[in-house]
């Protein structure tokens, strides 16, 4: 009986720890992802409407990949700066 109680308590502690770790998403990560998604949509629209040259589109896609990697790494300041560069390139392509 004592063995079942100890196993039950251990399982509760293990499951509680996992739930606690997963329960708190990073707000900055969500904001970075939202910014990245918004910029990707604008870029996609520009590429679909042929408003950008192939060279500019390739450069913008490389920068978007870089910004995505920076968001994933948690480097939100550099990701935001990279997205600002993408925005300026897209605006130049008008």
Helix (H) / strand (E) containing 81: helix 76-92
Q: pTM for the complete prediction? A: 0.67
Chain length of the chain? 94
Domain positions in the chain:
26-92
Q: Are 90 and 81 in contact (CB under 8 A)?
A: no
Q: Show the tokens assigned to 73.
A: 């790494």
**Tens-digit pLDDT profile for residues 16-72:** 655 555 544 556 568 888 999 999 999 998 888 888 888 888 999 999 999 999 998
Q: 50: phi > 0 → left, psi -120 to 50 → alpha, else beta; which?
A: left
């Amino acid at each position: 009986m004592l063995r079942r109680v100890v196993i039950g308590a251990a399982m509760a502690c293990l499951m509680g720890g996992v739930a606690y770790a997963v329960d708190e998403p990073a707000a900055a990560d969500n904001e970075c992802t939202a910014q990245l998604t918004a910029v990707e949509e604008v870029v996609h629209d520009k590429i679909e409407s042929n408003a950008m040259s192939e060279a500019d589109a390739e450069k913008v896609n490389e920068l978007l990949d870089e910004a995505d990697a920076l968001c994933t790494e948690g480097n939100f300041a550099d990701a935001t700066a990279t997205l600002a560069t993408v925005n300026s390139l897209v605006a130049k392509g008008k």
